[in-house]
Amino acid sequence: MAYTQVDFSAANKDASFAGGKQKKVVGSKVGRSVRTERFRYTEWNDGQMGIELYDHQKDSKELTNVAKDPAYAQFVTELKATLAKGTN
């Protein structure tokens, strides 16, 4: 996946944001991400084409998407709100 990094960290010092379009995908698959010290949360087409959550404390190589793990539900909710505030 290739996407353009857009850093809004001056507006929100606790997170940085990125977004872009995935290449070689049929249709338009646009991703937006928020990165905190612990997590990276990504929504594809506002979550309609999927979400990703990686816990960098346990998985620094982002091999396991924990977005659907009930133990991470609160983090998904919080990061979704952070992403919405930071990229609007």
What's 49's domain CATH number? 3.30.1120.10
Domains of the chain: total: 1
pLDDT digits (tens, 9 = 90+) for 3-62: 444 443 444 457 777 777 666 555 677 889 999 989 999 999 889 989 999 999 999 999
Q: What is the pLDDT of residues 75-88, one digit of tens each?
A: 999 999 999 888 65
Enter the tokens of residue 40: 């990276």
15, 31, 5: which is closest to 82 by C-alpha?
Answer: 15
Q: How far, in Å, CA of 59 to CA of 14, rounded?
A: 20
pLDDT at 54: 97
Domain of residue 30, residue span: 4-86
Reply yes or no on whether the pLDDT at 2 is more than 60: no
Cα distances from 84 to residues 19, 35, 46, 62, 66, in angstroms, run: 12, 13, 9, 22, 20
Q: Model pTM?
A: 0.75
